[in-house]
Amino acid sequence: MSDSNRLCEQAPAFSEEDCEIALFRAKWPDGFRCPRCGGLDFYRIVSRGRRLFECSSCSHQTSLTAGTILQGTGTPLVKWFQALFLMGTGISAVLLAELIQVTYKTAWLINHKLRFAIQMHDEGRPLTGDLQLVGDFYARPVTNRPSDPLAYRDEPAVVGASIDPESGELAEVKIKRVSAKTFNRRTFDVDSFGGFLWRHATEDRTGERRIEIVKASGREGVTALGAVWRGAIAWLARTFGGIGPKHLQAYLDEYCFRVNVRTDGFKALLSLCGRIGTITQPELVRKRSGIRSIRWTGRTNEAKLSRNICIS
């Protein structure tokens, strides 16, 4: 059975009414609230074929997609919901376009808007508590050419995870690109991993955090973090033939989102889409330096942090 046929069989049958109800609950989980005055009561009206909500207090009109990742879309909600479900499988834009019957450009835009929602969610969830880290380099396995610049072929990345204090297992993972100027996987110290911690972990105010730097594999086999890293690389190679540096971080964040959600990725992603505003196609294709970072202040306590680093 082909991938497209298998995915078609797995996808639930969405109706327009079901999609509207689900998006309403994702956008207003506690009930309608007017974006202008905060009013709780509304009228449903139809204007030029659009279904609008008019506030009973101030008469402000808003649509179901306004202020969400779907804002301004001309694609039917049913197709968006199909894309939401298929994002849980890590689908390419080529296959998505075939399955939901849209153009490649539309499928690419939908996928990247969903990845943007994931990135905005990831930004607000820095790693906490004890951590494990592993560093490695990513290279596009299929699309490399001798003429490609080195930046396309050798991308340093850190895989980090917060550790569940009770089970000792990985609680939440992140894979982030780091600066090639400062990262050296053969130098297991703050200089190599401090950039990751500065941006993607909470400040250690107690000085009791334990940071363990591990390898992807050892004598006992592949480590838990190593399995996450290898899984991401395998998915990128299998699904896309490798990814260049421009959008690599968005794909890595998507993979980690699925790892962290574990079960109902569709519901979690729908909730994000209802709360996070959209991004335009020109903004997506323009080269961006990255999303806002969370400051880690460990540089001022470098000596204290270094004593808590364990190399294994």
Report the share of the chain in percent with pLDDT over 90: 63
- Dump the DSSP string for 211-263: EEE--SEETTEE-HHHHHHHHHHHHHHHHHS---HHHHHHHHHHHHHHHHH-S
3-state secondary structure of 24: helix
Residue 291 pLDDT greater than 70, yes or no: no
Q: Please give the helix or strand (H or E) that residue 155 lies within, else none.
A: strand 155-163
3-state secondary structure of 138: strand
**Paired residues of 221 in beta bridges:** 218
pLDDT attached to residue 297: 44
**CA quadruple 133, 136, 140, 141: dihedral positive or negative?**
negative
Total Cβ atoms within 10 A of residue 126:
20
Mean pLDDT of the chain: 84
Question: Which of 278 and 46 is assigned the larger pLDDT?
Answer: 278
Report how far residue 152's alpha carbon sits from residue 139's, in angstroms, rounded to the nearest whole number. Answer: 7
Task: Tell me which DSSP letter residue 293 carries.
Answer: P
Report how far residue 142's alpha carbon sits from residue 145's, in angstroms, rounded to the nearest whole number. Answer: 9
Summarize pLDDT for 137-146 with one digit per residue, the tens.
Answer: 887 554 455 5
CA–CA distances in Å: residue 161 to residues 12, 183, 200, 214, 215: 33, 18, 10, 11, 13
Q: Is the pTM of this model over 0.75?
A: yes
Q: What angle in degrees, to the nearest 10, is found between the helix axes of 245-261 and 224-240?
A: 120
**Paired residues of 51 in beta bridges:** 46
Residue 215, both tokens: 């390898």
Summarize pLDDT for 124-162 with one digit per residue, the tens.
Answer: 999 999 999 999 888 755 445 556 555 555 788 999 999
- The beta-carbon contacts of 124-128 under 8 Å, at least 24 apart in sequence, are 125/172, 126/200, 126/201, 126/202, 126/294, 127/160, 127/161, 127/162, 127/172, 127/174, 127/200, 127/201, 127/202, 128/162, 128/201, 128/202
Report how far residue 51's alpha carbon sits from residue 63's, in angstroms, rounded to the nearest whole number. Answer: 7
